[in-house]
Structure 1
Amino acid sequence: MALLIMILRKMIKNKWLELSLLFGLVLTVALTSSMPIYTNAILQRMLSQELQNLQTGSGQYPGTYWLSADNPGTAGNDPQDAGFFTTDAYLSEKASGRFGLPVQQFVRERSTVVYSFLPSDTERMDVNKIRWANFTAISDVEKHVKLKDGRLPKKEPEGGVYEALVVPDALTELNLVLGNVFTIKDDNVKSEIRVKPVGVIEPSDYSDLFWYNSTVGYKSSFLIDLDLFDKSFTKGNALTVKASYWYFALDYTKMTLSSAKDFIAENGRITAHMKGQYDTYSKNAPALRTLSLYKEKETKLKILLLSLNVPVMLMLGFYLYMVANLITDRQKTEIAVLRSRGASRLQIILSYTIEGLVLGVIAFFAGPYVGVMITKVLGASSGFLEFVQRAKLHAEVNKEAFEYALIAVAGSLVMTLIPVLLATRYSIVAHKQQLARIQKQSFWHKYYIDFILIAISLYGLQSYETRMSRMLSLGANTSDMSIDPLLFLIPAFFVLGLGLCLLRLYPWFIRLIYLIGRRWWPPSLYYTLIQVGRTSASFKFIMVFMIITIATGIFSASANRTINKNVADKIDYKIGADITMQIHWDNDAPPILLSGGANSEDGDTAGETASSNKAAPQKTQYTEPSFLPFTQMPDVEHAAKVFIKKNASYYAPAPAKGKDAGGSKLQEQDKIELMGIDTYEFGNAAWLRDGLLDYSFNSYLNLLASDPTAVLISSSMARQHGLKPGDLIQIGWYGANTAEFIVYGIVDYWPTWNPGAGGSSQPAAEDGGNAARADIPNLVIGNLSYIQSSISLEPYEVWLKLKAGSSSERFYQEIAGKGYDILSLADANQERIAAVNDPFQLAINGVMTLDFLISIVITFVGFLLYWVLSLLARTLQFGILRAMGISFFQLLGMLVAEQLLISGAAILLGVLTGNLTSRLFVRLFEMSFDPKTQILPFEVTFNSSDQVGLYVIVTAMMVLGIGILGFTVSRIRIHQAVKLGED
């Protein structure tokens, strides 16, 4: 107890340092514990959204859990329950809690095999009509129906007649009237079974989850009481029971990740029960298909978050070491005295371990709750330092968060004990000798850690580039590479290594400044240069902090902006405009053509060309709907007609035979994609990223507009068929005319077109085989009016560019009011929103923003802590300088100059390091995109606004820090400082 009291008193004595260390510990624990909290929160959001989408998209209720089991049949007079009663008991036991979800309905149902029924009243009923029906029983059905006609049946047979309910469709299907008695006619039924329908029912609420099946499914059933069914048929063997059914309706809106695990576990137990009880059974649980994907997503998301947090983890580790080192430096004399008086190293380390545990326990319990707040920041981020109003993530502390917190506390404790371990090597004599010596070279410079880190990072860069080029050339799926931790660790190594390397050159830079102006420097600046030059080693910790912070911020901004920009560009390019749609055109095509005929874009075959001997199909006539309303909508800025024919044909003259070459016919050379456009409106409505073409986008459109027969062709087509500007080509398709065009230009990219293997980045196939050419897409762009007049008039797409600030929802309402029949629609804005809400995109946006903010806060606290302690340690120097005649403003100017030489230099080095790191390593994020879907070349993006925001934050930090330092200096009393020196 005495040792603990001594440790607590020592901590109180150094309260500001201890609070700073506690601050770093809490942040470390919070950041670490936020990983499982965020993962669970985002997966919870995904789970809820996908279950809702399952219901709206497929019409299935996601909380459905339905089972059925067939009766294998029994011999003799044995009960034929086939285990049904056992399953009843098993599923009914604790049914409300077994799935981890509230049970809204639990329904049991049984049915017999189908029998033929004949009416007893042969005079008024048609005896020639055979009625096939069964007996069905549903538990508690009376509570969920209303009588449409008749009355409810009795629970027991009356006069040997079973009273039953029927649904309205049964009246027609079985040709029956209420009150008529029907008898089963079957040689296998020994006793006479008669039934009388006495009531017609319908659901009291059609949205009631009680009804797994529509009532239409009971149109051939007589519904009787379940207890009566079991007594007479299941146990009594009067009829053969075909199957039993069990149905749960669960409240899926209450499903969480923990209850999802309970759901999956319970499904496993039920499956084991069914397998052990029945030879054949069926199951339908729509939610299982959704839940089965979540374990893999959860694992990938955790690895991604860990990878993204690597740089800030290094920062926090550095911070903890620096603060612990500052604490240890102030207590080195005390440690040395203890060592000289007989205390062992283990005893001293144990005392500091207890001190660390006191802080660690506080951080352990506080950190996860700070992690919840961090998770909310992650959920609101839509880009680097960008936040939007979005539904809050459901974040809560769980057991896993505390497990992560425990690991963080243990790791942090090790970091804080390293300086103590190093300090316990010296006795009081050795400690005084060390103080008298000139400071030695730092550890990382002495053992060339900076060069080692740079070498490792550059090797990783070269290795990744090699792998990336191979995978992109093969077109392999690289989705797994998006969560490789080394993809984020290597840039962090490079930032640290390059920062340390630049600091190795920093003393020479100070000497150079000193030599350049040593004849003109005023005394205050001369003193500052001497002070910084001779004690530069003591400033390296804070300089490393600032370099890593600035560099990490610039890299995070560039990486985040690049990823978001490439995702958005991919969506815009794939869709082509803000909104693209296909509207219905009236036509005279016979119904058979809808499944593949002359007008079917996918129904043509390679053999059906203009030169085929088969009879040409009848040409379909289309009626073009009015295009004018699209141009007059308030939210539409530009509207364009875009005709796309996926399977058009490129024709060339067939090789001449014999001496007469003049009679050669056209022969199909290749399948192509034909696009017809109105150049002016297309140029206003379509989107294409700058730099993809040799000339500007509008220049190519002007080429097309200069001649109705002008076309642009893809570079893949030009390579395959040896085409060049000025060549004549023939284009058409099966069931339409052919027309002649002139090649005016060659393009590598065009809105919506995927160049695939035929893009400019890939070489053309050289084997000349038809199979190889079939895999290479070809594109021809021509004038729409010429294509319609010369080949055929067929439905085109409508491409729209919306006005700034327009709402997609408002546009949908406008288009619905025009009466158009929309066959397909793609909205770029909605797809961008969906991409931003992707959990992995949310993780990248949120974590990179959060890491930078944490780095800024940590650096600011470290900046103030370091400089305040440094000023307090130099109180005697400042007192002597003031006594020598240096004014307060001159002293403040010396501090400002010192800050510029140290903090200002660190900022410049951080900017240099961050920009170089971004240019070298951001392009590796191309491996995060599947090349099969990433059509456009990956482009590294820098945004000046990101760096301006970064500089503003750092500048504000420095100004505030200098203000606090100036205030601290102003409170120094000269006589106390001098008296302190005398003492």
Structure 2
Amino acid sequence: MSLVSILTMVLKRIINNLSLMLAAVVGLVITVTLVASIPLYSEGMSEQLLYRQLTASAEQVQPKSAILMRHFEEASVGNTSSTAAPAPGAVAQTGNGPVVTASGNAYKPVTLDEYNKANAYLADQAESTVGIPRTLYVTYGQSDSLPLLSRTDDQSLQGREFAGYGYIAFIRDFETKIKLLAGRLPNPDPLPNGDLEAMMATAGLDEIGLDVGDRIVVVWEKQGKLTPINITITGRWYPRDTTDPYWFYQLDYFNNAIMVSEKTFLGHVAKTYEGIPHEFAWFMVFDVKSIRSDNVARVLDGINELRSRTATLLGNVRMELSPETILQDYETKLFFLKILLFVLSVPVIGIVLYYITISAGMIVDRQRNEIAILKSRGASTFQVLGVYLVEGAIFGGFALVVGPILGMSVAQFIGRTYTFLVFTNRDPLPVHITQQTMQFATGAIVLSVAAMIAPAVGAARYSIVAFKQEAGRSGRGPFWQRWFLDFALLGVAGYGYYMLSQRQSILTLGAAGDVFSDPLLLVVPWVFIFAAALVFLRFFPFLIEGISRAGSRVYGVSILLGLRQISRMPGQYTRLVLLLTLTLALGTFAASVAKTLDRNYNDRVMYQTGSDLALVESGNYDEVSETWSFQPVVEHTQVKGVQAVARIWRGVGNANVTGRGRPQEVKILGVDPPDIARVGWWREDFAPDSLVSLMNAMGANEKGAIVDAKFLTDFRLKIGDAIVVTIRQKPIDLIIVGSVTYFPSLWPDTDRFMITNLDYLFDQVGETPYDVWAKTDPEVPWREIVDQLRDKDFLVSRATDARETALRLRDDPGRTGIFGILTVGFLVAAMLTVLGFMLYSFLSAKRRMQQLGILRAMGLSITQLIGLFIFEQGFLIILGTAAGTVLGVMTGNLFIPFLQIKSEQHAGIPSFVVMTSWDDIYKIYAILGVILAFAFPAFIWMLARMKIHEAIKFGDETG
């Protein structure tokens, strides 16, 4: 067959089987969409964070997208008051000898020609070299800091009667950025008497006692010779806008600058007084909005080229400011984020590819007779495969166009994920299709088309005779069962579990403290799920056979026929059961991961904070009486949003038990028992008793103390024993009334601690500043609460809101991407599972028309046939759902404990609580139920319209 004939055949096949082909096309489009969404999300989220980082306020004066390049002369002669750091390795010498550098070569100052070449390069080519628009370009030059005289007689000069220090400088476009408070702009040419004209900042003039019209002498020393430079002050200036990024140094730096025009500095100062230039600088600000994920590498290359080229032209050049570090950090984080999400999406992509394979397999099964006829009429295996390959190419081209566009929407969907199947409103991500996006999409198409034509490879080997013979035989088990690959994968998962339990890793993705930095945490659970699902399918036929035999005398006709049909031909059903099992296991495991991490993120934050809001406060100290005074703590509750408060005092003491070893340092937490019981955060596993019971025990005895469990063990103590704790050199008698394993804000892994009555402590050691824990209304912003407290004269120096801290953790791009991929993956898998069941139902009905027609002719009613169908589909769905749920819960219990970060400080405190998210699992059931509710009626309608003679005839034709 020629290519034209193959193409014609393919188009006819597509048109004649459009509804079936759409099932395969959906799988292709979803695969491409999912794969394309990962780089789109990763780049969009990272780009958004990069933009925030580049535009965030910081201590540095210059914008973070700015580049500052400075050239210093390698020697400062006769000067001890340099305004800028000397060049590395340069040695300043005085006297008549030559100035040399650290390399031993005679130093030659930069010439004006060299400066002009460098300046021309940066002015004309820097923008194109970096590759993004430049919004500001400033050139700057100055002398070193030089002494100033108010008169020029030899006595003043030789006697060094200096009025102060200053430096001659120029800065491009200076006249447009200042306000003239007095005088005028200086002329670029010298006056007839040889004086230069200059301006000074108003603060600088006031500092040295000069005014507009005064004359000042700058003394320049070269090789021991003092040379006066006469300057007339023509203007007093002040910045037009003090926040303008044009002022790339702190404004105070320019107070001592004697500002001349660029023409004056280069044409007269630098020429007349050779060697006087000390620094040249170029300051450029680039457009932050033009830095995108697809040009970051270009920008970094441009910055390196800028540095290298300028160094070639001028020599000693330092790039003292650039976004290079931020951009490099962005590239590193983006790289690891992409790997993380791709590794996480592998199971989902595998499910999608598996759907494509089984949907294509069901279509090929229906076309086997057609394939066998083609083979018998002379078509080669390659020609038959060519038909499917052309089909795949057509579908792949469509998916390549549609997939990345849909991927942009999916990327936004991922960006709005709050946790599994929960979404929030966030700013849209700056997503755009890049070359890399299309590369990933093309790779996905190759995989999808390969999965699509894989079933045709086996079918293309049979002639019509071989096909009829094969159809009459019972099929062999799948290759993975014959080669025991399911048990092999289960062994791999077991070894992975062992490595995780030993805290071993093959690779680290990103920072070592990230939850999913170990790829084994991503890979091993999915391998276990897949392996366990395959093992379940190995025993699936035996399970069905057992159920069938157990109730053969009890079941109705529809149920018995359904069970026997499934047990006789399990291969037709196991593919769908596997798809459903994997989908439910994925959803159940993902939901449990999300709920566990959410719970433990919150618990970790609450443990660190202690309550909803932690306030670090002070009081008023009377130096005469040497005492502190505080406003009543209860007055905090007069502020809107504060529901209850408790005082918290922290200190260190030495615990001493007679005859039990040396004193041991302990952390002391002083509290008011009734208040802390209302305000403090608590979890049941922190102690054998509840927080209320512990506080009641303390409240009943002012000397009562609660100690950590290890303290009891170390000192071999028990409840009721007395101890002495020395605080500020004062011994305090205490009685142990309870013990805890954990207590909020205290860390038993590094410290021994105890909780005591605060009033009793203050009676013993005196009152000192304490912190305050507050229970707050979540509807009232915590900053508003703090502002109101300060308005009421509470001395709040720092505040930590637990809710905001937890929310900030949830906005982490890696965490958002993980839950976004898991959510999208589950929804995709659920949709494909339903599509797979619908496709199977349709093709199965077509294939079994003869069987159903015979059953109808034997006397079975339409109701019984519908019951047969509903039982088959319902039984498989329930079985797959139950297996997937059990497998997901089992996987969660096995692997979720490994998600607890062990590399950070105080790791494992509080202990990790594994949660099975039954609420989300019920959501999963509901989603599947709603979708399947629309699938059943269509098939029931088809059965109701079936006619006996047509069904038998159709069965003969397809048989």
C-alpha displacement of 1:91:
1.0
Quick one: distance in 1 between partners of 2:791 and 2:130? 46
CA distance 1:786–1:269, shift in 2 (3 Å): same
Corresponding residue for residue 637 of structure 2: 631
CA distance 1:516–1:375, shift in 2 (3 Å): same
Corresponding residue for residue 968 of structure 1: 942
Q: Does 2:45 correspond to 1:39?
A: no
CA distance 1:524–1:721, shift in 2 (3 Å): closer
Q: Does 2:718 correspond to 1:719?
A: no
Quick one: distance in 2 between partners of 1:144 and 1:487? 57
Corresponding residue for residue 534 of structure 1: 568
Corresponding residue for residue 768 of structure 1: none
Unaligned runs of 5+ in 2: 76-98, 100-105
C-alpha displacement of 1:924:
2.5
Q: Does 2:673 correspond to 1:673?
A: no
Residue of 115, 133, 139 corresponding to 1:102:
133
Q: What code does the residue aligned with 1:61 have?
A: P
Secondary structure (helix, strand or coil) at the match of 1:878 reads helix
Q: Does 2:488 correspond to 1:452?
A: yes
Alpha carbons 1:99, 1:259 under 8 Å: kept: no
Corresponding residue for residue 513 of structure 2: 479
Residue of 142, 164, 170 corresponding to 1:137:
170
Corresponding residue for residue 92 of structure 1: 123
Secondary structure (helix, strand or coil) at the match of 1:51 reads helix
**Stretch moving more, 412-421 or 483-492:** 483-492
C-alpha displacement of 1:829:
0.9
Corresponding residue for residue 911 of structure 2: 937
Corresponding residue for residue 688 of structure 1: 682
Q: What code does the residue aligned with 1:752 have?
A: S
**Stretch moving more, 394-403 or 499-508:** 499-508
**CA-to-partner distance for each residue in 1:343-374, whole Å, 9 max, x for gaps?**
33223223322221111121122211111111
Q: Does 2:351 correspond to 1:315?
A: yes
**CA-to-partner distance for each residue in 1:509-559, whole Å, 9 max, x for gaps?**
333333343334333333333323322321111111111111111111011
Q: What code does the residue aligned with 2:544 have?
A: I
**Stretch moving more, 812-821 or 348-357:** 812-821
CA distance 1:555–1:264, shift in 2 (3 Å): same
CA distance 1:4–1:454, shift in 2 (3 Å): same
Alpha carbons 2:747, 2:909 under 8 Å: kept: yes
Q: Does 2:900 correspond to 1:922?
A: no
Corresponding residue for residue 30 of structure 1: 33
C-alpha displacement of 1:429:
1.4
Q: What is the TM-score of this pair, normalised by structure 1?
A: 0.88
Quick one: distance in 2 between partners of 1:60 and 1:187? 33
Corresponding residue for residue 559 of structure 2: 525
Secondary structure (helix, strand or coil) at the match of 2:785 reads helix
Corresponding residue for residue 247 of structure 2: 211
Q: What code does the residue aligned with 1:443 have?
A: F
**CA-to-partner distance for each residue in 1:412-435, whole Å, 9 max, x for gaps?**
222222212212232221111111
Alpha carbons 1:643, 1:795 under 8 Å: kept: yes
Quick one: distance in 1 between partners of 2:108 and 2:811? 62
Secondary structure (helix, strand or coil) at the match of 1:331 reads helix
**CA-to-partner distance for each residue in 1:928-958, whole Å, 9 max, x for gaps?**
8746444222221122211111111122233
**CA-to-partner distance for each residue in 1:394-417, whole Å, 9 max, x for gaps?**
211111111111111111222222
Corresponding residue for residue 83 of structure 1: 114
CA distance 1:980–1:343, shift in 2 (3 Å): closer
Corresponding residue for residue 850 of structure 1: 824
CA distance 1:741–1:522, shift in 2 (3 Å): closer
Q: Does 2:79 correspond to 1:71?
A: no
Secondary structure (helix, strand or coil) at the match of 1:245 reads strand
C-alpha displacement of 1:457:
1.6
Residue of 48, 53, 61 corresponding to 1:50:
53
Q: Does 2:422 correspond to 1:401?
A: no
Q: What code does the residue aligned with 1:72 have?
A: E
Secondary structure (helix, strand or coil) at the match of 1:302 reads helix
Alpha carbons 2:669, 2:754 under 8 Å: kept: yes
Quick one: distance in 2 between partners of 1:278 and 1:733? 65
C-alpha displacement of 1:183:
2.9
C-alpha displacement of 1:191:
6.6
Alpha carbons 2:613, 2:773 under 8 Å: kept: yes
Alpha carbons 2:647, 2:773 under 8 Å: kept: yes
**CA-to-partner distance for each residue in 1:445-488, whole Å, 9 max, x for gaps?**
333333222222223212311226999xxxxx953772333322
Q: Does 2:492 correspond to 1:499?
A: no
Q: What code does the residue aligned with 1:139 have?
A: R
Quick one: distance in 2 between partners of 1:277 and 1:786? 74
**Stretch moving more, 280-289 or 324-333:** 280-289
Secondary structure (helix, strand or coil) at the match of 2:913 reads coil
**Stretch moving more, 956-965 or 669-678:** 956-965
Q: Does 2:7 correspond to 1:4?
A: yes
Quick one: distance in 1 between partners of 2:55 and 2:853? 71
Alpha carbons 2:137, 2:282 under 8 Å: kept: yes
Corresponding residue for residue 431 of structure 1: 467
Alpha carbons 1:589, 1:620 under 8 Å: kept: yes
C-alpha displacement of 1:85:
2.1
Q: Does 2:337 correspond to 1:301?
A: yes
Corresponding residue for residue 382 of structure 1: 418
Secondary structure (helix, strand or coil) at the match of 1:483 reads coil
Map 1:243-322 onto structure 2 (within 5 A): 243-278=279-314, 280-285=316-321, 287-322=323-358
Q: Does 2:853 correspond to 1:879?
A: yes
Corresponding residue for residue 511 of structure 1: 545
Quick one: distance in 2 between partners of 1:57 and 1:137? 26
Secondary structure (helix, strand or coil) at the match of 1:407 reads helix
Map 1:110-189 onto structure 2 (within 5 A): 110-120=141-151, 130-159=163-192, 160-185=194-219, 188=222
Quick one: distance in 1 between partners of 2:777 and 2:901? 35
Quick one: distance in 2 between partners of 1:584 and 1:854? 55
Corresponding residue for residue 780 of structure 2: 806
**CA-to-partner distance for each residue in 1:769-808, whole Å, 9 max, x for gaps?**
xxxxxxx411111011101111221111110111243333
Corresponding residue for residue 615 of structure 2: 581
C-alpha displacement of 1:200:
0.5
Quick one: distance in 1 between partners of 2:466 and 2:902? 54
CA distance 1:920–1:270, shift in 2 (3 Å): same
**CA-to-partner distance for each residue in 1:8-59, whole Å, 9 max, x for gaps?**
2122222222211111011111111212111101111221222344x24656
CA distance 1:949–1:57, shift in 2 (3 Å): farther
Quick one: distance in 2 between partners of 1:233 and 1:686? 71
Residue of 577, 585, 591 corresponding to 1:557:
591
Q: What is the TM-score of this pair, normalised by structure 2?
A: 0.90
CA distance 1:521–1:626, shift in 2 (3 Å): closer
Alpha carbons 1:71, 1:80 under 8 Å: kept: no
Q: Does 2:655 correspond to 1:650?
A: yes
Secondary structure (helix, strand or coil) at the match of 1:805 reads coil
Q: Does 2:868 correspond to 1:908?
A: no
**CA-to-partner distance for each residue in 1:493-519, whole Å, 9 max, x for gaps?**
222222232233333333333334333
**CA-to-partner distance for each residue in 1:124-151, whole Å, 9 max, x for gaps?**
x999553322211111100111111111
**CA-to-partner distance for each residue in 1:604-659, whole Å, 9 max, x for gaps?**
xxxxxxxxxxxxxxx953222342331222211211111112x333345699xxxx
Quick one: distance in 2 between partners of 1:513 and 1:187? 105
Corresponding residue for residue 745 of structure 2: 752
Q: What code does the residue aligned with 2:252 have?
A: V
Alpha carbons 2:129, 2:306 under 8 Å: kept: no
Quick one: distance in 2 between partners of 1:409 and 1:299? 23
Quick one: distance in 1 between partners of 2:911 and 2:488? 33
Alpha carbons 2:889, 2:916 under 8 Å: kept: no
**Stretch moving more, 925-934 or 284-293:** 925-934
Q: What code does the residue aligned with 1:543 have?
A: V
C-alpha displacement of 1:927:
5.1
Quick one: distance in 1 between partners of 2:739 and 2:109? 83
**Stretch moving more, 964-973 or 397-406:** 964-973
Quick one: distance in 2 between partners of 1:804 and 1:975? 70
CA distance 1:128–1:536, shift in 2 (3 Å): closer
Unaligned runs of 5+ in 1: 472-476, 591-618, 656-666, 757-775
